[in-house]
Amino acid sequence: MKISSVKGFHDVLPDESARWSWIEQRAREIFARYGVVEMRLPIVERTELFSRSIGTTTDIVEKEMYTFTDRDGSSITLRPEGTASIVRAYVEHALQTRAPVSKLFYLGPMFRRERPQKGRLRQFSQIGAEVIGRDDPAIDAEVVLLLHDLLEALEIRGARIELNSLGDATCRPAYREALRAFGEAHRDALCENCARRLELNPLRLLDCKVPECRQATAGAPLMLDHLCDACRVHFDAVRAVLAREAVPVQLNPRMVRGLDYYVRTAFEVVAEGLGAQNAVGGGGRYDGLVKELGGPDAAGIGFALGVERLVLAMDDHVAVQSPLPDVFIAPLGTAAESEALHVAHRWRRAGVRVEMTSGGKSLKSQMRLADKVGAPYVIIFGDDELATGTLTVRDMAAKRDFPRAIGLALPGAELRDALAQLAQQTLERSA
Ligand code: AMP
């Protein structure tokens, strides 16, 4: 009996994992340019961390968390997102005492028990960044610039950053009430979910995907028209910096975020070719969260990108491969095989990427394999070679044996030089 993986939990096969590594490496490069450093966070947290931060009436906390009772009776949860953990760690380690501003990134798996479909999994990976310690609009703009540079570096097809302001504790309550009253007046036309959540989470009216709901809320009041002066000034300043840097962002006054802790600047990234799940990332400001979780009154802002969706949205021409071998050894016969193993080990220890076979395969099948793994050179290793101590190198692209044999006792570093020389000669020959 085969055992399959759990629904919504996927393997990343070698073909695809090269893209994952490429994404992670590019992201690290861009984070370094902005002085954003890595945090490695635990996958399990106390359940109350998420109910207190994300909000008890959100989809995530209401129905999507993997929550377990541990053997000691405490309730623990597989993290559904990274911001809450970052803030928990910031507070726990008093990071405000180490630097006035903490600029942090994380990457790793998140868990939400959603209905699996294309681009929606129960275990998915996020790359996220958070800046904690300042609330001025320059920081918001810098985070969006970072996000923009990152999307460009990752060559995401048709990536678009949408921007909105969600107001703050001064102006949002009145807006929320206006929206709730609007929803109440149109209650009969709302979907069951929105009608049910009208009291507790009316903001979600605006991003409901049900067509009838969308129609019913077409004329709903918008936060942007209800911002207090401070939020308006803040938002205008963010947009002014982005305009000056010529970063294309699109205002989306209907965008709300699925988590309660966001205030003021919020953004979402959408990409092409993803179907219904076209958001590759999102983020925003969360000025009250650090305090809410027992820390100082420190402001914060950040974003997270979903790696699976980035992989789907990456331009096809981005050629990403696992590194190819430098050389393939094709031994012929038992004696040659054992010698080949010895030589391969020596060369590998010297930094050469060596692929080889064993099990008495014919030369033809070994050449086919060498071709398949993309080895540029094959070293054929038979009785004659063993007897004379020299090796013949076949140049796979030129489809010919290299006329000058390479010595069997050649140390790895020299082999590499010899192969590089060979490649140069091939180039010159074909020029
Ligand atoms: P959120 O934390 O909900 O703002 O999500 C940020 C990003 O994470 C989304 O834009 C997606 O790219 C990704 N994401 C969220 N939920 C899932 C999921 N269930 N499966 C795959 N990716 C997801």
Q: How high is the pLDDT of residue 402?
A: 67
The sign of the CA dihedral 108, 112, 118, 119 is negative
Residue identifier of the C-alpha nearest atom 10 of ligand 1: 281
Distances (CA, A) of 284 to 157, 260, 262, 303: 22, 11, 6, 6
Does residue 10 line the site of ligand 1, with CB under 6 A?
A: no
Q: How high is the pLDDT of residue 410?
A: 67
Strand partners for 76: 46, 68
Query: Is residue 373 packed enough to be buried (19+ CB in 10 Å), middle (13-18) or exposed (0-12)?
Result: exposed
Mean pLDDT (the chain) is 91
- Cα 23 from Cα 334, distance rounded (Å): 43
pLDDT tens per residue, range 291-327? 999 999 999 999 999 999 999 998 777 778 788 999 9
pTM above 0.85, yes or no: yes
User: Of ligand 1's atoms, which has the minimum distance to the CA of residue 60?
Assistant: 3
Does residue 167 line the site of ligand 1, with CB under 6 A?
A: no
- Cα 11 from Cα 125, distance rounded (Å): 12
Q: What are phi and psi of 173, to 5 degrees?
A: -55, -45
Instruction: Say how many Å lie between the CA of residue 126 and the centre of ligand 1.
Output: 7
pLDDT tens per residue, range 23-44? 999 999 999 999 999 999 999 9
Neighbouring CB atoms inside 10 A of 189's CB total: 14
Instruction: Say how many Å lie between the CA of residue 304 and the centre of ligand 1.
Output: 8
Q: How high is the pLDDT of residue 367?
A: 93
Residue identifier of the C-alpha nearest atom 8 of ligand 1: 306
| CA proximity to 356, closest of 368, 332, 342, 340 | 340
Instruction: Say how many Å lie between the CA of residue 258 and the centre of ligand 1.
Output: 11
Does residue 309 line the site of ligand 1, with CB under 6 A?
A: yes
- Cα 157 from Cα 171, distance rounded (Å): 36
pLDDT at 415 exceeding the cut of 80 = no
pLDDT at 226 exceeding the cut of 70 = yes
Q: How high is the pLDDT of residue 405?
A: 60
Does residue 120 line the site of ligand 1, with CB under 6 A?
A: yes
